């Protein structure tokens, strides 16, 4: 680094090194940042959609439960309407509904004046004959129609939601109603339906009624409280389903999917922490940085050598200029190769090196992509998972399946309908799989499920459940379709490469087709 009377001046070699280093650093950081943002948004979108689908599934199950419970009460109302004067018969019918359906914590009959005529279970029978003034009773008496009540405190001091069906005589005169209650702070069918979230990563779900009162929450102490200051809950009444990125009452950013139960006006919200969702991405970025570090080091060494090479002719020319009065200076200057064009070559070399890093990041991104039609994993993801399972020595089961007579679907209805069938099958596979299972579309109508740690019996149960679900789920306009499945298992003791288990499952699939299709065969 030369000196002058004005201080230190940077030479060309140092300037080239500084400029190229800054350019490489900025472009590298920009590429990492862009890749991180894209992958982060993909993970968030996937998590939001998964929570929305899960909330819709639970809302549909709850709607079915309410419908079935109302049908049972409707039948009981017809029976009780013919025997209101018979106390023993009334009691026997409330006992029958309570024990038969297992849907309610208590069942009861109230006349048109609000007097309790019969109730089950036995510990509540001391209330028979009393006029009941609870909000739920008044709501049912005023409605005189099938009703899912708002939460209220019962005469037995329980926080309940009541389902009711009116009783009319043959002349259409209102006689009272038959009801069943769910104790929200005790174990009930609603807890059984919603009590276990599919994920174990801090996710949870809760249910609110149309007045924003919690009907179910993992923290049982919050059941019955009114949710305040939550924009999502305030909008649930006007929305059927959707997704939101919200902050919960503990200040944790959550990715929420929601759906409503139409008959009751309840809202089901499934959500998981944002931090847990993007945690795998942080590991991926560290992996990319670690992988690219050797290339960055090699590039830095190359950059230093190129800077020395570029500066060398100028150093030789400067030395010749300082020795103009010496013999042989002209000859030495003639031998100097002045090649300024190489500066552009250096720039292209740096850009080429950065392009190599971009290509590597691009390959990582593409590897993480899924099959664009079904959203399932592709063959590259399958190969990676197989190699990982082999490296860990972890046993797994494989289910190979394809759609029976799929060519007929394409021939009779066109490829667009065929694609619709493939997407529907992918949805059913997600519904029937376990957490941690890998679902892949390996080509055409061929699919594969990897079940880490699963035994043959567990895999056979999953395969049979999927087969029955597909068989019982028609796809318009095709109607019912069926699938054939082959099951095989690999572990360290059996030896061989994990890939062999796919061949075994393929052979089992072929056998299933030979035996008539729409069946599961275990290798």
Residues 334 and 418 in one domain: no
Structure tokens at 263: 């008959």
Residue 55 lies in a domain: no
Q: In this structure, what CATH number is given to the domain that contains residue 428?
A: 3.30.70.270
Q: Which helix (H) or strand (E) holds 443?
A: strand 438-443
Helix (H) or strand (E) segment spanning residue 360: helix 341-368
| Residue at a domain's end among 367, 393, 410 | 367
**Domain end residue (candidates: 367, 393, 414):** 367
In a domain, 453, yes or no: yes
Examine residue 374 and state whether it is found in any structural domain, yes or no: no
In the predicted model, is pLDDT for residue 88 greater than 50? yes
Q: Cα angle at 492 between 489 and 493, to 5 degrees?
A: 90
Considering the domain architecture, whether residues 129 and 207 belong to the same structural domain is answered as no
For position 348, what pLDDT does the model report? 44
- What is the per-residue pLDDT across 153-184, written as a single tens digit (0 to 9) for each? 877 777 888 899 999 988 889 999 999 988 87
Q: Same domain, yes or no, for 40 and 72?
A: no
The boundaries of the domain holding residue 19 are: 12-45+278-367
Q: What is the pLDDT of residues 29-52, one digit of tens each?
A: 777 777 778 888 888 888 888 888
Residues 74 and 36 in one domain: no
Instruction: Answer yes or no: is pLDDT of 403 > 90.
Output: yes
Q: What is the pLDDT of residues 99-117, one digit of tens each?
A: 887 778 899 999 999 999 9
Q: Which run of H or of E encompasses 235?
A: helix 231-235
Last residue of a domain, one of 127, 159, 182: 182
Kindly state whether residues 242 and 125 are assigned to the same domain.
no
- Whether residues 90 and 36 fall in one domain: no
Same domain, 77 and 172: yes
The CATH number given to whatever domain includes residue 171 is 3.30.450.20
Average of per-residue pLDDT values in the chain: 81
Q: Is residue 54 part of a domain?
A: no
Residues 412 and 466 in one domain: yes
The band of 142, judged by pLDDT with boundaries at 50, 70 and 90, is very high
pLDDT of residue 7 exceeding 80, the answer is no
Identify the weakest region by mean pLDDT among 68-82, 215-229, 459-473. 215-229
pLDDT of 434 over the 70 cut: yes
- Whether 23 and 103 share a structural domain: no
Active-site residue numbers? Answer: 445
Kindly report the three-state secondary structure assignment for every residue of 112-141: CCCEEEEEECHHHHHHCCCECCCHHHHHHH
Whether residue 314 lies inside any domain: the answer is yes
Same domain, 397 and 515: yes
Tokens representing 361 are 């990041």
What confidence tens digit (pLDDT) does each residue in 215-229 have?
A: 888 777 888 888 887
Exposure string over 367-379, b if 16+ CB within 10 A, otherwise e: ebebbeebebbbe
* CA-based end-to-end distance of the chain: 75
Q: What is the pLDDT of residue 358?
A: 43
pTM above 0.75, yes or no: no
The count of structural domains within the chain is 4
Are residues 421 and 517 located together in one domain of the fold? yes
């Amino acid at each position: 680094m030369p000196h002058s009377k004005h201080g230190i001046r940077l030479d060309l070699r140092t300037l080239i090194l500084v400029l190229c280093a800054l350019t490489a650093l900025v472009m590298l950081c920009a590429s990492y940042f862009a890749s991180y943002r894209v992958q982060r948004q993909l993970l968030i979108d996937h998590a939001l959609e998964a929570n929305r689908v899960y909330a819709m599934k639970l809302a549909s199950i709850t709607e079915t439960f309410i419908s079935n419970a109302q049908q049972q009460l409707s039948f009981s109302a017809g029976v009780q309407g013919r025997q209101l004067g018979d106390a023993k018969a009334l009691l026997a019918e409330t006992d029958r509904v309570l024990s038969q359906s297992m849907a309610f914590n208590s069942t009861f009959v109230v006349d048109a004046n609000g007097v309790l005529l019969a109730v089950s279970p036995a510990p509540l029978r001391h209330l028979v004959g009393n006029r009941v003034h609870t909000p739920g009773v008044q709501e049912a008496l005023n409605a005189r129609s099938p009703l899912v009540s708002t939460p209220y405190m019962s005469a037995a001091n329980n926080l309940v939601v009541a389902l009711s069906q009116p009783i009319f005589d043959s002349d259409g005169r209102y006689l009272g109603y038959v009801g069943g209650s769910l104790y929200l702070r005790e174990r009930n069918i609603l807890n059984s339906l919603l009590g276990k979230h599919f994920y174990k990563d801090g996710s949870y779900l809760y249910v609110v009624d149309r007045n924003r009162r919690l009907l179910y929450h993992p923290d049982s102490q919050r059941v019955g409280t009114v949710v305040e200051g939550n924009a999502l809950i305030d909008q649930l009444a006007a929305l059927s389903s959707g997704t939101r990125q919200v902050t919960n009452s503990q200040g944790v950013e959550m990715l929420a999917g929601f759906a409503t139960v139409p008959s009751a006006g309840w809202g089901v919200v499934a959500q998981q922490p944002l931090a847990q969702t993007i945690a795998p991405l942080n590991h991926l970025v560290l992996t990319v940085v670690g992988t690219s570090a050797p290339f960055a080091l090699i590039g830095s060494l190359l950059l230093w050598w190129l800077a020395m090479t570029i500066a060398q002719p100028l150093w030789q020319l400067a030395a010749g200029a300082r020795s103009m009065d010496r013999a042989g200076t002209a000859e030495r200057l003639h031998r100097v190769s002045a090649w300024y064009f190489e500066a552009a070559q250096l720039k292209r070399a740096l850009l080429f090196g950065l392009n190599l890093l971009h290509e590597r990041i691009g390959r990582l991104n593409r590897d993480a992509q899924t099959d664009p039609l079904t959203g399932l994993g592709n063959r590259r993801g399958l190969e990676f998972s197989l190699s990982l399972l082999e490296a860990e020595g972890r046993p797994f089961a494989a289910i190979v399946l394809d759609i029976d007579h799929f060519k007929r679907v394409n021939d009779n209805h066109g490829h667009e309908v065929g694609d619709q069938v493939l997407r529907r099958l992918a949805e059913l596979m997600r519904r029937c799989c376990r957490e941690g299972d890998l679902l892949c579309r390996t080509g055409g109508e061929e699919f594969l499920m990897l079940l880490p740690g699963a035994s043959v019996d567990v895999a056979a149960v999953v395969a049979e459940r999927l087969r029955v679900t597909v068989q019982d789920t028609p796809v318009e306009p095709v109607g019912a379709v069926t699938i054939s499945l082959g099951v095989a298992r690999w572990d360290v003791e059996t030896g061989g490469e994990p890939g062999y288990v796919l061949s075994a499952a393929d052979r089992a699939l072929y056998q299933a087709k030979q035996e008539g299709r729409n069946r599961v065969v275990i290798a």
